[in-house]
Structure formats: structure tokens, C-alpha cells
Amino acid sequence: MDTCLTAGDMPGAPRLRLMALGGPMLDEARAERGVRALSALGFEMENLQCMTRRTSRFAGEDTQRAADLNALADPLAPMPDLIMATRGGYGAARLFEQIDFERLCPRLNDAGTILMGYSDNTAIQLALLAKGGVITFSGPMLYGDFGVESPSPFMLNWLSRVLCAPTFELNIEAPQVASCDVTGTLWGGNLVVLTSLVGTPWLPRVEGGILFLEEIGEDLYRVERMLLQLWQAGILSRQSAILIGGFTAYKPDGFDAGGYTLDRVLDALRRRLDVPIVTGLPIGHVPDIVPMPIGAQGRLVADTTGFRLSVSGYPVLKRFPAAFVL
């Protein structure tokens, strides 16, 4: 695993606070493996009580889940170095009206606290960007990524590289349909969640951005319908490029199981949209994840052989876990 070259500016182990904004963790052993894996890296774990909460299909009552973040809005509360989602599921969007964005956003920005998650957590991440310009990370979570028997070395390597340095460059060798060389705000997340925010104050208005998308377990016709909605709402046409990440476990089409593929869906979108669509970004519900800052600055250069994504302008750890330090 790549490591940071120097220790952080602040003494002591970095503090990692868990947030459980969506669904519960039903496999206790898996959740505990995740805590052990993160502790072994050198993080001091906090808010562990959220791991065992459960109310209906959620990781606790709405007020409890909102408190995972609202507790940090208190100006006297010590700020963690990293906030990590336990898992996704559903429930984050129920918390919008209860979260104290007015006080929380400046505290996160001033402290440089990193917030990380994906899937359902996209709702809160986009709201933080819209309400206070808070840059968060679409990146690994406790249950799905650290709770497995063997966390991905690729993921661990990129986690240390991204969280330790103020810039990074990702090179992907994958054939691309279109060439481009564009710059803009890097933003996005889960397709279903992002689409559900259209027409609400929780979706940031990004002009000339590089929009990345990921999804899991959706029918392809639903994927196409959501992409068309984003196009028809004018969101896709306002971007400089679209980056497609992991679209895993999508369901074959019952009417054309062999021919109606994700490639066909993207080709249909390309015929409508005069914006380059680039594929192969390692994000989403996949083992090999590169943390993507939502709200940072990016440059995307693509051609027929692959693409290069250069990213800057995001918060980094001020003190590093022991496993990240030489």
C-alpha cells in the first residue's frame, strides 16, 4: 500500500466518527470486522453506538441518525478528522429538514473534516455542497468495504494516496468512444439518489462540471429513464463531461436480454447529448474504489486508449493513521 511521506501536522491518532444515516448493519460480525480493520490502520473510532441502532428499515430514529452529524454543529464539539458512513441503503433524504446545515457546513469547512460515503449518502453529500460548499468524498464505507474478509488492496492504496496529498491523478486504460480535454467541478454520486433531488434545493447547480455517476441493481430501462430525466432537466447539457462509474448487478431486460445493454443505453444518450461520456471510473458498489471528491476541481483528458483524471482542491488529513505513515 502506498503511504504518506510525512506525518500530519497534529499529534495523535486521527479520529474517525461513524455516521449511520440510512439502513442498519444486520451482520454484527461484519460490522465489527470493519471497525477492527479501520482501527488496525490507525484510526481512533468514535460514535460506535450507531452500529447497533435499528428502527424499522433504518439505523435508528430520524432524530438519532441526524444527530450523527448535528452533534458536530455545536461550536464546542471537537471535530473528527474523518466522518465515514457505515453503509447506504435508504433514509438519508428523510433527514434534510432536521440537519443544521447553517451551523454544520462552516464547521466542516473550517476544520477541514473529511466526510466519506456513497450510495444513499449521496443525498447528504450533495446537500452539503449545495448549502455550504462542503467538499465530501464518494468513497469506501465501514460495512461494505472494510467489513469484508479481505478489504481491497487497490482501495486501501488509493485511500491513502488521496487522503494524504492535495492532488492526485488517475489513469485508466479503457477504450473510449469520444475524446475530450475538459476542466470543471467534479461532482455526482449515486444515479437514483441524484435524480431524486432534481427540482429540490438539495441539488447543487453546477455549470461546466465533470459529473460522475454510479448505481447498483437497477433495471436498465430505469437507468435510461433517469439519465433522460437529467438530460431533459438540462443538467447533463450543462456539464463539460459525464463520467460513468460502476453500474453493477443491473438487471437484464426481459424483452431484449441479449441486446439492451448499458452500452446501448449510453449510445442512445450520446445521440441526444453533445457532451462527452467517458466510462470506467472505479467508484460505486465495487471492491476497487478510488475516493472521488464531490466539489473539487478536475481535469479530464480522454481518447481512444483511455482517460486521465487530475483532481485538486479537496481537504486532506492533517494527521495520518499509522498505516499511512513511513
- Residue range 246-257, pLDDT digits in tens: 999 988 788 998
Q: What tens digit of pLDDT does each residue of 92-145 get?
A: 999 999 999 999 999 999 999 999 999 999 999 999 999 999 999 999 999 999
Catalytic annotation, pick one of 214, 215, 218, 224: 214
Mean pLDDT of 73-81: 97
Return d(Cα 131, Cα 145) in angstroms, integer. Answer: 29
Helices and strands per DSSP (H, E), number in the chain? 8, 13
Quick check: 9 pLDDT over 80?
no
Domains and CATH numbers, the chain: 15-166+316-324 (3.40.50.10740), 167-312 (3.50.30.60)
Catalytic site residue 237?
Answer: no
Tell me, yes or no, if 152 is annotated catalytic. no
Catalytic residue among 119, 152, 160, 240: 119
> Looking at residues 45-57, what average pLDDT do you find?
97
Of 160, 215, 218, 285, which one is the catalytic site residue? 285
* Known catalytic membership, residue 119: yes
The answer on pLDDT for 41 being more than 50 is yes
84 phi/psi in degrees, rounded to 5:
-120, 135
Query: Residue 273's CB: how many other CB atoms inside 10 A?
Result: 18
Query: Which contiguous run of DSSP H or E holds residue 239?
Result: none
198-247 pLDDT per residue, tens:
999 999 999 999 999 999 999 999 999 999 999 999 999 999 999 999 99
